[in-house]
Chain A
Amino acid sequence: MKTKVVPTIKLYDYLIVPIQIELDDSTIEKLQMQLLNEISERKIRGIIIDVSMVDVIDSYISFVLSETAAMAKAMGCYTVICKIQPQVALTLAQMGIKLKDVFTANSLEGAIDILNQLD
């Protein structure tokens, strides 16, 4: 399946993924498939997921993001979640949800710095 739910931008061997749509369950699952495909087909070594437009991240979305990052890692690719809205971060912290297997950054530049250092 080659349908892309989120248009992505390739920069060096990094993939920038700006999420600008509502993350319902089937969308986030399709996004996971899409990213794993892109990692292997476009030889991606780092993924930057920009969630600045996402105003709710619940436990399932968190789970799928971490799961995707763990799968990406197994394929030799690191994941940075970038620009989480402060109130979303607050909500996740209060619920006791930790985003496993991902790095976090508060800007695109910060995300690229993290990936550059991992190389």
Chain B
Amino acid sequence: MMDDKNFNDIDINVHDYDIVLKIKDENDIAVSRQMAKSFAQKNNFSLADVTKIATAISELSRNIYRYAKEGYIYIKKKETEPGKDISIEIIAYDRGPGIENVERAVAGGYTTSQRSLGLGLSGIRRLMDSFYIKSEVGKGTVVVVEKRRRRF
């Protein structure tokens, strides 16, 4: 199916997601940031966590735009078990060049960009509760992160 993104063991069914955003223009980075912010706000995340989620999406979208030219951001609310609190899951997916040394890229301080800090992926990992990345040279990159809602 055209709508379904498949990246080896990761299946993304677009119908499961509350927000699907195509990242293609530079402006889409700011748009994704704003959408993530209002989605997290609407779901009663704390101000600190709203900021962390919006910042993480900003980093993911920029990586898509910069390194893969285009790709998608998927956002959904996840209700785990009844009584337990919800979380927000974010997937960044692209079919760009992929990352040669994923471990090095995630460790932080490494960048292939000239005007950059190399602290995007490592930063996202620290901001979120869970972080998963799969990347294959010539195939693309998928990053899956999750942030749980905390009582405050």
Q: Do A and B come from one complex?
A: yes
Q: Is A62 interfacial (CB-CB < 8 Å)?
A: yes
Q: Is A53 interfacial (CB-CB < 8 Å)?
A: no
The size of the chain A interface, using a CB distance under 8 A, is 24
CB neighbours (8 Å) of A63 from chain B are 115-117
Minimum-distance CB pairs A-B, first 6: A95-B123, A24-B30, A58-B58, A87-B51, A87-B48, A56-B54
CB neighbours (8 Å) of A25 from chain B are 26, 29-30, 62
CB neighbours (8 Å) of B108 from chain A are 96
Q: Is A26 interfacial (CB-CB < 8 Å)?
A: yes
Q: Are B122 and A96 in contact (CB under 8 A)?
A: yes
Partner of A59, one of B26, B54, B119: B119
Q: A22-B30, A24-B26, A94-B126 in contact; A62/B51 too (CB < 8 A)?
A: no
Q: Are A90 and B48 in contact (CB under 8 A)?
A: yes
CB neighbours (8 Å) of A75 from chain B are none
How many interface residues does chain B have, given as a range?
20 to 34
Q: Is A55 interfacial (CB-CB < 8 Å)?
A: yes
CB neighbours (8 Å) of B37 from chain A are 55-56
CB neighbours (8 Å) of A55 from chain B are 37, 51, 54
Q: Is A97 interfacial (CB-CB < 8 Å)?
A: yes
CB neighbours (8 Å) of B70 from chain A are none
Q: Are B55 and A95 in contact (CB under 8 A)?
A: yes
Give the residues from 94 to 126 in chain B that come closer than 8 angstroms, CB to CB, to chain A. Answer: 108, 115-117, 119-120, 122-124, 126
A-B contact pairs, 19 of them (CB 8 A): A24-B26, A24-B27, A24-B29, A25-B26, A55-B37, A56-B54, A56-B55, A56-B58, A58-B58, A58-B120, A59-B117, A60-B62, A60-B116, A60-B117, A63-B117, A87-B48, A95-B119, A95-B124, A95-B127
Partner of A26, one of B26, B47, B48, B126: B26
Q: Which residues of A contact B (CB under 8 A)?
A: 22-26, 55-60, 62-64, 67, 85, 87-88, 90-91, 94-97
Q: Is B52 interfacial (CB-CB < 8 Å)?
A: yes
Min distance, Cβ A32 to any Cβ of chain B, angstroms: 11
Min distance, Cβ A90 to any Cβ of chain B, angstroms: 6
Q: Are A96 and B51 in contact (CB under 8 A)?
A: no
> Closest residue of chain A to B26, judged by CB?
A25
> Closest residue of chain B to A90, judged by CB?
B48
Q: Are A87 and B47 in contact (CB under 8 A)?
A: yes
Partner of A62, one of B30, B117, B124, B127: B117
